[in-house]
Amino acid sequence: MKISAIDLFCGIGGLSYGLKKAGIPVVAGVDLDENCQYAYEQNVKADFLAKDISKLKGAEIKKKYWSDNEQVKILAGCAPCQPFSTHSNKIKNKKQTKKWRLISEFKRVVKETNPEIVTMENVPNLANQRIFKNFVAFLEDNGYSVSYSNVYCPDYGIPQKRRRLVLLASKYGKISLIPKTHSEENYVTLKDAIGDLPPVKAGEICESDPFHRTTSLSEINLRRIEASKPNGTWLDWSDDLKLACHTRSTGTTYKAVYGRMSWDEPSSTITTQFYNFGTGRFGHPEQNRALTLREAAILQTFPKNYKFYKSKKDIFIKRLGVYIGNAVPVELGFVIGKSIKQHIEGHYGKTKRTVYI
């Protein structure tokens, strides 16, 4: 019994790489952004299809799976989460509205390919949306056993306070995530993850690692970070450093903005703006700067030998920041893959059939 997986909305390959690490062969990834192709193919060693999912036909996907008739097909996907994020509760424009439809397109591809196992990763708020409930009902109506839960990433050794919705569905019966591997007593901390990296200044590029770079700071933002404490807020600043929005009642709810992280706990959730000191708690605990590309990649559990770029001229902080921030953490992909692998082996173990992975 051969197993193969295809990853929709694959980006630069965080989920795919994690699935492979768990022993699940990934044969293809699909993403609209062709700039993701180099990183995906170099690291995952699978075909990359630069295609809009709304134009993707199930027949194209079927051709990528193992050709054997007897196999386990896995379809994975993490549709862009902006419409469902707590940071964007309201749909602001037509472009954002279109992203809601991607879940429906994912459902269509499931229907056209009929995989044995389906998995989806997204923001927790998606579970409250009708479109997700309809997706679950569709899976159940088509013979899948479905489970989903909100995962706190530190519970699985991931060094950031990321919360994600993970869905697993199988035609073989009940399926669920493996048990948690960590507790608060042994969470992987920020210092565990990036404490050994060489220091760099704001706007500087590390000589030994061109990926270890961050943006520069304006004079006022340099003064602000100098006045900031680990896990502190802008309330620690003198009045001349505070922004006008801080004086409004709405500003008091965003105390993590312009914040420093702490060495002794997992990092803040890595977003696509982690390199910007003013967009969240992304200040380094000691150095006067925001996170570097390398630090964010490590916090997203990409291995240090992951190939993000072909040459130094291809290192654009804004673009790579989006790819890293949008990625499924590799270790979360590993947890998903391990859960699926154990489920398949358990099912076929009962029928005494060999599983080839």
**81 is a catalytic site residue:** yes
pLDDT in tens, 283-328: 999 999 999 999 999 999 999 999 999 999 999 999 999 999 999 9
| pLDDT score, position 92 | 47
The span from the CA of 274 to the CA of 330, in Å, is: 18
| pLDDT score, position 67 | 64
Q: Where in the chain is the domain with CATH 3.90.120.10?
A: 190-326
Q: Which amino acid makes up residue 321?
A: G
| pLDDT score, position 253 | 61
| pLDDT score, position 79 | 83
318 CB contacts (<8 Å, ≥6 apart)?
A: 275
| pLDDT score, position 353 | 46
The span from the CA of 253 to the CA of 232, in Å, is: 14
| pLDDT score, position 270 | 98
> Using an 8 Å Cβ cutoff, are 103 and 80 in contact?
no
Q: Give Cα separations from 301 to 81, 264, 304, 356 (angstroms).
A: 20, 18, 9, 27
| pLDDT score, position 121 | 95
> Using an 8 Å Cβ cutoff, are 196 and 189 in contact?
no
| pLDDT score, position 272 | 96
Low-confidence ranges of the chain (pLDDT < 50): 83-96, 351-357
- Could you please state the CATH topology (level 3) that the domain comprising 190-326 is classified under: DNA Methylase; Chain A, domain 2 (3.90.120)
Q: Kindly state the greatest CA–CA separation across the chain.
A: 72
DSSP 130-165: HHHHHHHHHHHHTT-EEEEEEEEGGGGT-SB--EEE
- Laid out side by side, the sheet with 47-50 consists of 47-50, 26-31, 2-8, 71-77, 117-122, 163-170, 145-152
pLDDT in tens, 317-352: 999 999 999 999 999 999 999 999 999 999 887 544
| pLDDT score, position 310 | 95
The span from the CA of 139 to the CA of 146, in Å, is: 7
Helix (H) or strand (E) holding 28: strand 26-31
Per the confidence metrics, is the pTM higher than 0.75?
A: yes
| pLDDT score, position 71 | 84
Residue environment code for 326-336, b if the CB has 16+ CB neighbours within 10 A, otherwise e: bbbbbbbbbbb
Class of domain 2-183+329-350: alpha beta
The span from the CA of 21 to the CA of 180, in Å, is: 18
| pLDDT score, position 273 | 96
Q: Where in the chain is the domain with CATH 3.40.50.150?
A: 2-183+329-350
| pLDDT score, position 88 | 45
| pLDDT score, position 257 | 84
Q: Which of 10, 81, 153, 245 is catalytic?
A: 81
> Using an 8 Å Cβ cutoff, are 27 and 11 in contact?
no
| pLDDT score, position 232 | 93
